[in-house]
Amino acid sequence: MTSQRAGFSLIEVIVAMLILTVGVLAMGGATGYILTQVRSAQLRTDRMTAVNQAAEQLRAIAWNDLESACAGDGFDVPPYAVSCHVSQPQGVLHLKRIDLVSTGPGFRGGRVVQSLTDTMVIGIARPVDQ
């Protein structure tokens, strides 16, 4: 007598459910990591936008007035505060180094920090006509 069997055995169903469960749990864990990375990238982008706005404002100032522009309170690009310091590399007469220091929310150690400080350095060359 031959048996005509159709469908799945109980062991096959359990193994399939186990594989599916592991896959779903892995996707859930990856989702948390991905959300963390997206938030971190968003904060970095916001910070760089604020620093770039300050840099563009400095580029619009006359080259000889850069020191006095940085002597004030800096630039306020909410939620970031950007301050600057101008120096001239030794032996280079046509270039000024500007350290832009931004303070505001950031991502450090796997979590959002409300007051994080970061520095970006730019150089502004003297225009040819001066």
Confidence check: pLDDT of 50 > 70: yes
Identify whether 4 is part of a domain. Answer: no
State residue 89's pLDDT score. Answer: 87
Closest CA to 40 of 96, 121, 109, 90: 109
**H/E element, 126:** none
pLDDT higher than threshold 60 for residue 38: yes
pTM of the model: 0.74
Compute the average pLDDT of residues 65-85: 89
User: Would residue 1 count as lying in a domain?
Assistant: no
pLDDT of residue 130: 57
Whether 90 is in a domain gets the answer yes
- Domain membership of residue 73 (yes or no) is yes
Looking at the domain assignment, is residue 130 inside a domain? no
- Look up the domain containing 117 and give its range: 10-125
**Domain-embedded: residue 5:** no
Q: How many domains does the structure of the chain reveal?
A: 1
Mean pLDDT over residues 120-128, rounded?
A: 89
Nearest of 54, 47, 66, 69 to residue 118 by alpha carbon: 47
The CA-CA-CA angle for residues 64, 101, 124, to 5°, reads 30
